[in-house]
Structure 1
Amino acid sequence: MPYPEGHKIKVRGKIIESAAQAFRTNGIRDISVPVIMKGAGLTHGGFYSHFENKDQLVVEACRYAISDTIALLQQAADQAKDVPKIHAIIQYYLSQEHRDRREIGCILPALSGEMSRSSDEVRQVFTQEVQRMIDFIADLAQLDTSKASALLSSMVGSLVLARSVHDSKLSDDLLAAGKQYAQTILVA
């Protein structure tokens, strides 16, 4: 019996979603195709009917994850009542929830350390996705690209450090310092 119309697209979407979650949590190098396929509820044998190689999947997962992060940040901005939308984004991005829920968090802190060793194709798409995040922040906060770049860099760096330390108080302090510094970027 043939699969229903749209089945292959739906399965591909499940694989991309599984990969984005796995890459956000563990990075690229430590995640194998069989682990990604298992996360999607599939066997690894079907991978190559959807993707040419793992790099192609990384590219699609990066695009998916940035779209997902922008949607989460937009939701935080839309719910802001008493503060400017950019302040709500800073608060969410540098929150304990975002720090602790890597599987749904921003992929930039998760993969930035691996990008210099990735293929040109992956690096090119990652670059485009970083630019998309900068543009989102610039548009939302009505900032020039330089300030939006500084703000994103500060937030990503703060989140990387907060996730890296094994001391919960220091981690919380790093998030708080990141929030404070992000505010100074806005008024500089």
Structure 2
Amino acid sequence: MPYPEGHKLKIRGRIIESAAKAFRTNGIREISVPVIMKGAGLTHGGFYSHFDNKEQLVSETCRYAISDTIALLQKAADQAGEESKIDAVISFYLSPYHRDRTEIGCILPALSGEISRSSEEVGQVFTQELQRMIDFICDLAKIDHATGNAVISLMVGTIVLARSVSDPKLSDHLLSAGKQSAKGLIENST
């Protein structure tokens, strides 16, 4: 009996979702294809009927994960009360909630340290997706790309450090300082 229409696409989506969760939490090198497939509820053997190699999966996962992050940030912007949309996005991104939930968080902090050691294809896709995040921030805040580059760099760097330290108070202080600095950059650019 043949699979229903769209079955293969649905399975591919499950694999990408599993990879996004795994890469966000543990990076690229620490996660094997069998772990990703198990996370999708599938066997390792089926991987190659969906992807040529792990690099292709990493590339597609970067695209998926950035789309997912932009959707989360857009939701935060849409729910902004008296706070400006960009301030709401910064507050969400640099929140304990985002810091503590790596499995659903932005993939940029998780993969930034590994991309330079990845394939050229992965590096190009990561670059395109980073640019998409910068464009999102620039459009939302109505700022130039130089300021957008600085804001994203500050936000991603803050999350990396806040997730890295063992002292919870220091982690919270880093988030607070990052929020204040990112919002200040935007205020000073307008």
TM range (shorter): over 0.9
2: distance between equivalents of 1:147 and 1:86? 13
- Number of aligned residue pairs: give it: 188
Partner of 2:40: 40
Partner of 1:98: 98
2: distance between equivalents of 1:72 and 1:7? 27
| Deviation digits for residues 95-141 of structure 1 (CA, Å, limit 9, x no counterpart) | 00000000000000000000110100000000000000000000111
> Is residue 2:187 matched to residue 1:187?
yes
2: distance between equivalents of 1:174 and 1:97? 14
What's the TM-score, normalizing by structure 1?
Answer: 0.99
Partner of 1:17: 17
Partner of 1:71: 71
Structure 1 gaps of 5+ residues are none
Partner of 1:55: 55
Matches within 5 A, 1:16-165: 16-165=16-165
2: distance between equivalents of 1:106 and 1:75? 14
1: distance between equivalents of 2:115 and 2:51? 20
What's the TM-score, normalizing by structure 2?
Answer: 0.98
Partner of 2:2: 2
Moved beyond 3 Å, runs of 4+: none
Deviation at 1:184, TM superposition (A): 1.4
Structure 2 gaps of 5+ residues are none
Partner of 2:178: 178
* RMSD between superposed Cα atoms in Å: 0.5
